[in-house]
Amino acid sequence: MSVPFVQARNLRRVFDVSKPWLNRVLEGGHLEFLKAVDHVSFEIRKGETFALVGESGSGKTTVARMVVGLLPPSAGDVLIDGVSMTDPRQAPARRKLRRRIQMIFQDPYASLNPRFRVDAIISEPIRAFDLIQGERDIQARVGELLSLVGLHPDDRLKYPHEFSGGQRQRIAIARALASDAEFIVCDEPTSALDVSVQAQILNLMRDLQDKFGLTYMFISHNLAVVRHMASRVGVMYLGRIVEIAEGRELFARPRMPYTKMLLGAVPDLAMSGRQRIPVKGEIPNPISPPSGCAFNPRCPLAFDLCRKETPELIDGVACHAVNTAPVPA
Amino acid sequence: MTEPVLSVRNLKVEFASRRGTLRAIDGVSFDIAKGEVLGVVGESGAGKSVTGLAVIGLIDPPGRIAGGEIHLAGLRIDNLPPEEMRRIRGKRIGMIFQDPLTSLNPLYRVGDQIVETIRTHLNLSEAAARRRAIDLLAEVGIPAPEKRIDGYPHEFSGGMRQRVVIALAICAEPELIIADEPTTALDVSVQAQIISLIKRLGRDHGTAVMLVTHDMGVIAETSDRVAVMYAGRVAEIGPVQDVVKNPLHPYAKGLMGAIPTLAGDDKRLVQIPGSMPRLSAIPRGCSFNPRCAFAFDRCRVERPEPLPRGAQSVACHLYDNVPAESAA
């Protein structure tokens, strides 16, 4: 097997959510920390789509931001093509790497500067990395990128407000491609879009992947979208990856009770009347997570060990019940 | 057949704007029977929410109901004076909005808000209303309701808040509940709980429910019948099984194919070219014709009227003059 393109090693991110110092002194109380991400490790091979899925507050976006370097991890490291995203000694190599990593955000209304014309938006990476010289060549490249994502080259003279949500997301994709990126982190790229537009964007993303051999990291809470896009999937719960598997395998044979519950909760368009695990409770407060396995208060299989010890990710599953005893089917 | 709880006939809603009058709803008709859940599905701008607001009489100026009739159990309600409509709203029609945080007053205890609503509509003492509020909170699945009733909205999670909103909607035992995207702001695991709660309410109380959502999966799980809306009109309406498994209207077909599913294979999603037209530029003829693969001359000139097709009804010229067997 070749060396993975992206490696996340024991990522951890802690946010300080304490009250201000003066309030602590006057009103009492102590420092409070929110462990948004803990012990997250995964690998992404070149040309594949790796998805992180989970409910709100599970830490998906925090992981994505650490992978692209928008947020420094509290511990752990990310290696992209062998270059560390945190090691200060590798800063020159990292600068060269930056061009090859891009991100697409959830809200296409907030991620495009409303005062920039589309040509300025898309040519910004080209100019920043000094990829093409000469205004005429830059404009030609912008036009080419716009046709690539299904817009008209003349659209480069318009402003973002003249486009619908789906078209804006196409512009965001064109911007990501402008620097010849190889690795694109997509944080909920279709959550703000209607289903028919979502289908257009998902199809476009797959076409571009086939054409340029792109590697995607895909963040979503929508399991059906993840099922459609991802070759490998990591399921997150309260800051940890609780199950990681090939896409088909995960959806056909989920192992961790949380994954089973999550899959069972998805409204079923096929109306097959399948049996489902009733959903119990809600995601706990991440400031004071339950001891042991964070899922234990909601888990039908929980036993003593689950309340004491946090399970390690073994063979793709972090669950005492799965790893120590045969699971009743 | 008994009289439907809600009957909407040829409803038209218009918004006056500087650039002329925009017609958001253009001739929508449907019925909801007692105990029935009607799903209303469509993409943003299709007119789903405006239809719900028109039924409950909450269209604010510059919007107005420009035509058609709305009947609640035989009583015409679209032209009632505001004061009378206010007595019906909350008492006979309950409303659940999308965002449970903004539909509760953050400054009042949850219990006070429910008690206030109960006492507005039912002739109960303070103590009896409070007892009823606790029962309601228990019914919607809030643990330890006798304690939680004195909590403030911010002390509840999103799913629990939506349960409180549902308790508020059902506190006067309305005949009809309008739920506008009740699960959109919630995570899937919580969404599943809220869906089963809405289903159970319809079953236990015989309440008619109009469920507005963009999520076809939610409709498939909850509804008895479904109306697919496009650009202010009902493109197709029928039993949920038929519409989901055998959609007739080209838009409904495209919509079903565009949804990624857990069971489906990895093939490309069906793609409808273009996007929903703006209200100011609704195409002539069938409003779907510029995006439709089957459009022919007539579609560009003449607006299709709903045609019955078995249990379904579809507004599409393709089904005119075609024997029913070949289409079904």
CA dist B319 and B310 (Å) reads 12
With an 8 Å Cβ cutoff, are B271 and A195 in contact? Answer: no
Q: Under an 8 Å CB criterion, which residues of B touch A?
A: 43-44, 157, 159-160, 187-193, 195, 214-218, 220-221, 240-241, 244-245, 254-264, 266, 268-272, 275-276
Stretches where chain B sits below pLDDT 70 are 1, 264-266, 322-328
Domain boundaries, chain B: 6-92+172-276+285-327
The percentage of chain A sitting over the pLDDT mark of 70, rounded to a whole number, equals 95
* Among B216, B255, B275, B278, the residue to mutate for chain A (most A Cβ within 10 A): B275
What is the per-residue pLDDT for B266?
Answer: 66
Using alpha carbons, list the distances in angstroms from residue A295 to A39, A298, A301. Answer: 16, 6, 10
pLDDT tens string A25-82: 888 878 888 888 999 999 999 999 999 998 888 889 999 999 998 999 999 999 999 8
What is the per-residue pLDDT for A315?
Answer: 85
Chain A, nearest residue to B267 by Cα = A228
Choose the closest CB to B260 out of A224, A264, A272: A224
**Which chain A residues touch B220 with a CB distance below 8 Å?**
267-269, 271
User: Can you tell me the mean pLDDT for A298-325?
Assistant: 86
How long a stretch of residues is chain A? 329
Structural domains of chain A, ranges and CATH numbers in brackets: 6-100+182-247 (3.40.50.300)
Distance from CA of B45 to the nearest CA of A (A): 10
Q: Tally the C-alpha atoms within 13 A of residue A28's C-alpha that lie toward its C-beta.
A: 0
Choose the closest CB to B189 out of A200, A203, A265: A265
- Write b or e for each residue in A238-270: b if 16 or more Cβ atoms lie within 10 A of its Cβ, otherwise e: bbbbbbbbebeebbeebbbbbbbbbbbbbbbbe
pLDDT tens string B33-54: 998 999 999 888 888 889 999 9
pLDDT tens string B94-132: 999 887 778 899 999 999 999 999 998 888 999 999 999
Distance from CA of A106 to the nearest CA of B (A): 15
User: Can you tell me the mean pLDDT for A291-314?
Assistant: 88
What is the per-residue pLDDT for B225?
Answer: 94
How long a stretch of residues is chain B? 328
Chain A, nearest residue to B190 by Cα = A282
What is the per-residue pLDDT for A185?
Answer: 95
What is the per-residue pLDDT for A329?
Answer: 45
Choose the closest CB to B254 out of A196, A251, A265: A196
pLDDT tens string A96-113: 888 999 999 988 888 999
CA dist B32 and B206 (Å) reads 12
pLDDT tens string A265-289: 887 776 555 556 667 777 788 788 8
Asked if pLDDT for residue A239 goes beyond 60, the answer is yes
Q: Are B106 and B154 in contact (CB under 8 A)?
A: yes
Fold for B6-92+172-276+285-327, please state it: Rossmann fold (3.40.50)
